[in-house]
Structure 1
Amino acid sequence: MADEQIEVVRTPDRYEVRVDGKAAGFTLFHADPEGRLVFPHTVVEPEFGGRGLGQVLVSRAMADVASRGETVVPLCPFVTKYLRKTEVPGLKIDWPS
């Protein structure tokens, strides 16, 4: 992984993690009626598993959301676990009830 180019890119409905330009995974989101970003699902493709790319993906996605001043509603278990263990400066979280 040290020599690989890893990038996380935001599209209208997901953040994608790419390794050397190849799609390796994504975390989906959509805006709810209040304008909050709901994150329901995260996937890392099997051939890229076990390399920490899910962590990289969610870390960079949450940092980007925080930088935009948006609010997250974590429904995805992976995103929820990350946010329960990691402080993201400036990130607003609305935990589902």
Structure 2
Amino acid sequence: MSAITVANNPERSRFEVLDADADAGSVIGQAAYVDDARSGQRIFYHTVINEEYGGRGLAKVLAEQALDATVAEGLVIVPVCPFIKKYLRKHTGYADHVAAVTSAHLDFVRDSLAQRVHQ
């Protein structure tokens, strides 16, 4: 297997899976989020691994590292993303660090993404 790493890219609001053996350390997957500084929450809304890297368990590695980093930063996890939600159901050790998704979270994600488009 190639040299795979996971890193937070706060400028792009996502944790990235990088393949050091690919062109220029290509991003081969991501767990995108928006941070709500007022509430101390990180809202995960999309996780994806490039198709050619599928079946290697990279999404699980990505989720674990992203969630561990989020907890270490003292932020609460809000799992809008179906994969993150599923991962959390199987890994109950994060339960004290998770907030239930509300319509306000969905509105916050929508508004945050709309602002990025207009910048």
What are the superposed Cα offsets for residues 40-93 of structure 1, whole Å, 9 maximum, x if unpaired?
111111111111110110111001111111111001000000001013458610
State the alpha-carbon separation in 1 of the partners of residues 62 and 53 from structure 2: 12
1:28 corresponds to 2:35: no
Q: RMSD of the TM alignment (CA)?
A: 1.8
Aligned partner letter, 1:70: L
- Aligned residue runs from structure 1 range 42-53, under 5 A: 42-53=47-58
TM-score (norm 2): 0.72
Q: Offset of 1:19 from its aligned partner?
A: 2.0
More helix as a share of residues: 2
Quick one: higher RCO (CA 8 Å, sep 6+), 1 or 2?
A: 1
- Corresponding residue to 1:77 among 74, 78, 82: 82
Retained in 2: the 8 A contact 1:6–1:18?
yes
Partner of 1:5: 3
State the alpha-carbon separation in 1 of the partners of residues 96 and 65 from structure 2: 12
Q: Percent identity?
A: 37
Aligned partner letter, 1:28: A
**What is the number of residues matched between the two proteins?**
95
State the alpha-carbon separation in 2 of the partners of residues 90 and 30 from structure 1: 20
Q: Which has the larger radius of gyration?
A: 2
TM-score (norm 1): 0.87
1:40 corresponds to 2:38: no
